[in-house]
Amino acid sequence: MNDYPKTARLMQRGADFLGSETAILCGAMSWVSERNLVSAISNAGGFGVIACGAMTPELLETEIAETQKLTDKPFGVNLITMHPQLFDLIEVCDKAGVSHVVLAGGIPPKGSVEAIKGGDHPAKVICFAPTLALAKKLLRSGADALVIEGMEAGGHIGPVSTSVLAQEMLPELAEDHLIFVAGGIGRGQAMAGYLEMGAAGVQLGTRFACASESIAHPDFKKAFFRASARDAIASVQVDPRLPVIPVRALKNKGTEAFTAKQREVAAILDREDIAMNEAQLQIEHYWAGALRRAVIDGDVENGSLMAGQSVGMLKEEEPVAVIIDKLMAQSEEALTRR
Ligand SMILES: Cc1cc2nc3c(=O)[nH]c(=O)nc-3n(C[C@H](O)[C@H](O)[C@H](O)COP(=O)(O)O)c2cc1C
């Protein structure tokens, strides 16, 4: 990082916290963020995060062990708060000595932050903060760092853009806390902007999904290279009784299938065969299956091509090390010009 002193200085706090060379996280992406991509990111000086998604504790244990064989650098594990075996998964991370756990998909349930920090190998906790009030609450409840993620991002999204979240949160929080900015970052110039505003680092997903080390199917990657920003659209909620978290993905037949799935789940709800949280879990299982179909099977018509708006800046497959180096160089150039 000696080549990029201005950027390295702004990233210092974040990098120290992560234990990595740069404060660039590759956000967990279900099916994509597995041993190969995660270890490649950490080996290249970034911070990789395993996407646990719907994995069982046994599968997660294996994934962590296999990742540890490929890198001796730190990496994190992303756990979805609504996973029915969340506490078993936390135990798996603890046993394996995972240094950082990211809690995603909602407010961490009671006791989860304490469990992560209070095991045999206490880990650092990173949470997603959708609003300033919640950010403060999460920090009070023991979160060591926060990610703020705007609606430009790929995957599940909130309603507010990254630039607005950054303006709301960074001036209030960044001096005393570690805040990582995510959503819509495709180039180092944008990264430099958020670092200058006080961010401890950044998190990217879409930019890394098609890295050479990513196991995503070649057709999944091709769809990304062909797409422009406006092709990455947010899903819509079709039934007011069934609140679904919007998902940003490239428009295809799968987008329409999601509408049908919502109607199907809403009908089951109407018959009161299931509770609301079970209905929402069914929707999440649907997404996990649809994403697998696209990422692993290469079914880019019917599967889910979760992608952020920065997808339009992706033109070719590049090794992770090249992507990180480009981001750092672009950031340095921007900071030098100022
Ligand atoms: C294909 C894909 C799958 C994702 N899966 C997850 C996930 O399982 N858990 C999670 O917390 N975030 C997930 N995300 C969000 C990323 O971790 C990251 O925060 C986001 O991609 C950052 O915004 P960007 O796409 O604009 O770079 C996913 C994103 C993509 C593109």
Residue 183: which region, alpha, beta or left (left: phi > 0; alpha: psi -120 to 50)? Answer: left
* Residue extent(s) of CATH 3.20.20.70 domains in the chain: 5-216+314-337
Ligand 1 geometric centre to CA of 338 (Å):
31
- Nearest-CA residue for ligand 1 atom 6 is 29
Ligand 1, residues at Cβ distance < 6 Å: 27-30, 32, 51, 53, 78, 104, 149, 152-155, 182-185, 203-207, 209, 306-308, 310
Asked whether 303 and 294 are in contact (CB, 8 A), the reply is: yes
pLDDT at 146 over 90: yes
Confidence of residue 55 (pLDDT cuts 50, 70, 90): very high
List Cβ neighbours of 256 (8 Å cut-off, separation of 6 or more): none
Asked whether 234 and 248 are in contact (CB, 8 A), the reply is: yes
Task: Kindly state the tokens that stand for 88.
Answer: 């078993």
Confidence of residue 271 (pLDDT cuts 50, 70, 90): confident
Q: How far apart, in whole angstroms, are the C-alpha atoms of residue 139 and residue 75?
A: 21
List Cβ neighbours of 12 (8 Å cut-off, separation of 6 or more): none
Asked whether 262 and 241 are in contact (CB, 8 A), the reply is: no
Q: Which residues pair with 47 in a beta bridge?
A: 25
pLDDT at 242 over 90: no
AA identity, residue 105: G
AA identity, residue 179: I
pLDDT at 295 over 80: yes
Ligand 1 geometric centre to CA of 199 (Å):
19
User: End-to-end CA distance of the chain, in Å?
Assistant: 20
Ligand 1 geometric centre to CA of 306 (Å):
8
Q: Are strands 145-149 and 247-250 parallel, antiparallel or unpaired?
A: unpaired
Helices (H), ranges, the chain: 5-18, 35-43, 57-70, 86-96, 112-117, 132-140, 162-173, 188-196, 206-209, 218-226, 253-270, 276-295, 320-337
In terms of Cα–Cα distance, which of 326, 244, 315 is closest to 279?
244
AA identity, residue 307: A
pLDDT of residue 319: 98
Confidence of residue 275 (pLDDT cuts 50, 70, 90): confident
pLDDT at 281 over 90: no
Q: How far apart, in whole angstroms, are the C-alpha atoms of residue 48 and residue 26?
A: 5
Report, as an integer, the average pLDDT of 75-102. 97
pLDDT at 277 over 90: no
pLDDT of residue 110: 95
Residue 249: which region, alpha, beta or left (left: phi > 0; alpha: psi -120 to 50)? Answer: beta
In terms of Cα–Cα distance, which of 227, 119, 127 is closest to 182?
127
**b/e map 317-333, b = 16+ CB within 10 Å:** bbebbebbbebbebbbe
Helix (H, G, I), strand (E, B) or coil at 234: strand
Q: How far apart, in whole angstroms, are the C-alpha atoms of residue 71 and residue 119?
A: 23
Task: Kindly state the tokens that stand for 7.
Answer: 């950027």
pLDDT at 191 over 90: yes
Task: Kindly state the tokens that stand for 200.
Answer: 């401890």
Q: How far apart, in whole angstroms, are the C-alpha atoms of residue 150 and residue 172?
A: 17
pLDDT at 278 over 90: no
Mutate to test the pocket of ligand 1, among 24, 25, 26, 30 (most ligand atoms within 8 A of CB): 30
Q: Tell which atom from ligand 1 comes closest to the C-alpha of 105.
A: 11
Using CB atoms within 10 Å of the CB of residue 262, give its burial: 0 to 12 exposed, 13 to 18 middle, 19+ buried: buried
Q: Report whether CATH 3.10.180.10 matches the domain 5-216+314-337.
A: no
pLDDT at 48 over 90: yes
In terms of Cα–Cα distance, which of 144, 140, 141 is closest to 76?
144
Ligand 1 geometric centre to CA of 28 (Å):
6
pLDDT at 239 over 90: no
